[in-house]
Amino acid sequence: MTDQEKIHDVIGVGFGPSNLALAIALKERNAALDAIFLEAKDSFAWHPDMLLDNSDMQVSFIKDLVTLRNPASPYSFLSYLHAKGRMERFVNRKTFFPSRHEFNDYFTWAAAHHQDYCHYNQSVVRVAPVQGPNGAVELLDVVSEDPAGVQTRRRTRDLVLAVGGRPNVPEVFSELRGHPAVVHSSAYLSTVKPRLAASGRPLKVAVIGSGQSGAEIFWDLANDVARPEVDFIFRSHALKPSDDSPFVNEIFDAGFTSYVFNQPPQRRAAVLAEYANTNYSVVDGDLIEQIYGLFYEQDVVGGNSHALLRSTRVVAAESGPAPETGQHPQVELLLAPVEGGEELRCRYDLVILATGFRRRLGETLLAGLEEFLTGVETDRGYRIGTTAGFGPRIFLQGYSENTHGLSDTLLSVLPVRADEIASGLMSPRDKDRQLLTAAE
Ligand X SMILES: Cc1cc2nc3c(=O)[nH]c(=O)nc-3n(C[C@H](O)[C@H](O)[C@H](O)COP(=O)(O)OP(=O)(O)OC[C@H]3O[C@@H](n4cnc5c(N)ncnc54)[C@H](O)[C@@H]3O)c2cc1C
Residues that bind ligand X (CB under 6 A): 13-19, 38-41, 46-47, 50, 57-59, 123-124, 162-164, 213, 397-398, 409-412
Q: Which of 390, 339, 423, 397 is nearest to 138 (CA)?
A: 390
Q: Is 182 exposed, middle or buried (0-12, 13-18, 19+ CB in 10 A)?
A: buried
Nearer to ligand X, 28 or 39 (CB): 39
* Minimal distance, residue 94 CB to ligand X, in Å: 19
Cβ-based neighbour number of residue 156 at 10 Å: 23
Is residue 414 classed exposed, middle or buried when 0-12, 13-18 and 19+ CB atoms within 10 A define those classes?
Answer: buried
Separation of alpha carbons 113 and 377, rounded Å: 33
Question: In this structure, what DSSP letter does residue 227 have?
Answer: -
Provide, rounded to whole angstroms, the least separation between the CB of residue 20 and ligand X: 7
Ranges of beta strands (E only) in 272-359 are 307-309, 312-319, 331-337, 344-348, 350-353, 357-358
- Our CB check for ligand X shows the closer of 78 and 344 to be 78
Q: Which is nearer to ligand X, 28 or 64 (CB)?
A: 64
Q: Which is nearer to ligand X, 351 or 414 (CB)?
A: 414
Please report, to the nearest 10 degrees, the dihedral formed by the alpha carbons of residues 282, 249, 266, 354 taken in order: 20
Smallest distance from ligand X to CB 80, Å: 16
Closest separation between CB of residue 332 and ligand X, Å?
Answer: 28
Report in angstroms how near the CB of residue 51 gets to ligand X at its nearest.
8
User: Which residue, among 211, 270, 271, 218, has the nearest Cα to 241 in the 3D structure?
Assistant: 211
Report the nearest approach of ligand X to the CB of residue 163 (Å). Answer: 4
Nearer to ligand X, 123 or 311 (CB): 123
Distant-in-sequence, close-in-space partners of 40: CB < 8 Å, separation ≥ 6? 14, 121, 122, 123, 124
Provide the 10 A C-beta neighbour count for residue 86. 15
Give the residue with the Cβ less far from ligand X, 21 or 233. 21
- CA-based Rg of the chain, rounded to a whole angstrom? 23
Instruction: Tell me the closest approach of the beta carbon of residue 409 to ligand X, in angstroms.
Output: 5
Which CB sits closer to ligand X, 382 or 390?
A: 382
